[in-house]
Amino acid sequence: MLQLPDKPVSESTRAQLQLLQEEVNQIPDFAAQVSKAQGLWRSKNSGNRARIAAFEEVKRILKSMSVAVEICNYCEHNEASDIEHIYPKSFFPSRTFRWENYLLACKNCNTALKNDRFAILNEADEVIYLKRGTQPANDRAAFINPRIENPNEFIIYDALSHNFVVIPEPDTADGKRAHVTLKILGLNARDALKHARKTAYENFYNRLLVLVQQLEARDWETLEPLLSPDADRFDRNQPLQEIQQSLKTALQKHFQKSPHPSVWYAIKLLGRHDAKWARLFNAIPEALNW
Ligand SMILES: [Zn+2]
């Protein structure tokens, strides 16, 4: 998980969201508030034109904020299809129509895993998993909020296990929040994700290694066998340096669109103390900023 870039919605969309939120907020009873929020959410695309347009904009901007190419912001693997409420509407109806509470997630993360599972921290920093139908005692989320926090300060990809490891001490509030987030999303429990992160790690390495070799080439005969037959359309008449610059730019763009950006995030940290990665980053130092 990465922190999402912050983007605003238009004034008219904000106003539409506020109208819906006010409808929810004016109901005094918690259970009735939840049911109102859920009903309004279900019917959000069948209302008037202004409302439909507002949710089209919400989805469009969330897409542009998503990691890689419209990939789920939680697992970084599947297509991001659903508007997910970070604070679930079943526990926090007062955040159902808040722009700041949205991100795009895949069906697996949104529906199958996170669903209504959520936890808060009480005053003693103990984790309280919320029970369906009960009003939370506070809104101190034990779930990391990638709209406003950098998840990589809590959990980081580990290249040996291909799992995420918790950074803060486990008995601190931050350590507990990291653990809860991993558990709710099943980021370490899903074998398909673990395998995909391993593959992503290897691909990042192999692609960067080939680029280093391409940049070291001093003539077309050395460079040509290192070019990808389907992607790299150059010929021997082009200046070598121009080709090499294009290859570098293309790989940067490719990395920025690749799934599992958390793997790449961790690799850039590894570049400082792992000899194999350090060799590649010494050859292409600007890759540390990709
Ligand atoms: Zn997902």
For the residues of 204-253, what is the DSSP string, one character each?
Answer: HHHHHHHHHHHHH--SHHHHGGGS-TTT----TTS-HHHHHHHHHHHHHH
For the chain, the residue count is: 290
pLDDT in tens, 29-87: 999 999 999 999 999 988 789 999 999 999 999 999 988 888 999 999 999 989 999 99
| Residue 234: band (very low, low, confident or very high) from pLDDT cuts 50, 70, 90 | confident
SS3 call for 104:
strand
Domain ranges in the chain are 11-185, 191-289
With the CA atoms of 82, 198, 254 and 2 taken in that order, what torsion angle do they form, in degrees rounded to the nearest 10?
50
Asked whether the beta carbons of 261 and 268 are under 8 A apart, the reply is no
Ligand 1 midpoint to CA 187 (Å)? 9
Ligand 1 midpoint to CA 140 (Å)? 23
Amino acid 262 reads S
Q: Residue 221 pLDDT > 90, yes or no?
A: yes
* Residue 79, φ and ψ in degrees, nearest 5: -65, 135
Ligand 1 midpoint to CA 159 (Å)? 20
Q: Residue 168 is encoded by which pair of tokens? A: 């803060």
Q: Residue 47 is encoded by which pair of tokens? A: 């209302």
Ligand 1 midpoint to CA 197 (Å)? 13
Ligand 1 midpoint to CA 279 (Å)? 33
Ligand 1 midpoint to CA 161 (Å)? 20
Mean pLDDT along residues 216-229: 92
Alpha-carbon gap, residue 228 to 221, rounded angstroms: 14
Ligand 1 midpoint to CA 222 (Å)? 42
pLDDT of residue 187: 96
pLDDT in tens, 157-192: 999 999 999 999 999 999 999 999 999 999 999 999
Ligand 1 midpoint to CA 154 (Å)? 18
Ligand 1 midpoint to CA 219 (Å)? 45
To which residue do tokens 């469009």 refer? 60
Classify burial at 202, counting beta carbons within 10 Å of its beta carbon; exposed 0-12, middle 13-18, buried 19 or more.
Answer: exposed
pLDDT of residue 232: 72
Ligand 1 midpoint to CA 281 (Å)? 30
Ligand 1 midpoint to CA 28 (Å)? 34
pTM higher than 0.95, yes or no?
A: no
Q: Residue 83 is encoded by which pair of tokens? A: 């508007």
Amino acid 45 reads N
Alpha-carbon gap, residue 65 to 53, rounded angstroms: 18
pLDDT in tens, 107-152: 999 987 777 899 999 999 999 999 999 999 999 999 999 999 999 9
pLDDT in tens, 248-288: 999 999 999 999 999 999 999 988 789 999 999 999 999 99
